């Protein structure tokens, strides 16, 4: 059985599911920080624009044949599209996007969407270096 890190970097759908779960975590954290209810429907409403944007980012990455679990350039593309399109969808759906919210959104999603990729690729690079040195 392959490790989670190996599966994450070699199986695109696992990386997509991880990204989607992390976008939902972002929505939960945001709602909790503002003392809003954590009922599933409320969380879904908060997460929906960003999940739609995440799907768009993934479509761009897959159509351009980038490695979706790589931090650069695909991770950066997925992050930028998720933030920019998610905020645009949020505004189109009638919610607000004040400047502090934009900054927090960009920062939190940067960490949540890129950190697993960086860790996965760092581990893979260390493992390959160890195998070549042996």
pLDDT in tens, 11-31: 788 899 999 999 999 999 999
Q: Is the pLDDT of residue 52 over 80?
A: yes
More confident residue, 81 or 4: 81
Q: What local confidence, expressed as pLDDT, does residue 97 receive?
A: 92
Per-residue pLDDT tens digits for 59-107? 999 999 998 889 899 999 999 999 999 999 999 999 999 999 999 999 9
Model confidence at 1: pLDDT above 60: no
> Is 60 exceeded by the pLDDT of residue 116?
yes
Only one residue has tokens 């599911």, namely 17
And the tokens for 15?
């990386």
Give the Cα separation of 107 and 85 in Å (integer): 15
Output the pLDDT for position 11: 78
d(CA 106, CA 87): 10
The pLDDT of residue 46 is 96
Parse the chain into domains and list their residue ranges. 4-123
Comparing CA positions, the residue from 125, 129, 30, 38 lying closest to residue 87 is 30
| Residue 3 pLDDT exceeds 80 | no
The pTM is what?
0.85
> In the chain, what percentage of residues exceed pLDDT 90?
69
């Amino acid at each position: 059985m392959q490790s989670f890190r190996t599966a994450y970097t070699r199986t695109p759908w696992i990386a997509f599911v991880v990204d989607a779960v992390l976008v939902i975590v972002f929505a939960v954290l945001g709602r909790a920080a503002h003392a809003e209810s954590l009922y599933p429907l409320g969380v879904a409403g908060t997460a929906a624009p960003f999940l739609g944007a995440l799907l768009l980012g993934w479509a761009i990455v897959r159509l351009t044949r980038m490695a979706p679990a790589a931090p650069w350039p695909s991770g950066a593309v997925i992050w930028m599209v998720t933030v920019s399109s998610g905020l645009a969808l949020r505004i189109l759906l009638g919610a607000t996007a004040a400047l502090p919210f934009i900054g927090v959104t960009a920062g939190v999603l940067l960490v949540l969407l890129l950190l697993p990729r960086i860790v996965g690729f760092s581990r893979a690079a260390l493992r390959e270096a160890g195998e070549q040195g042996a």
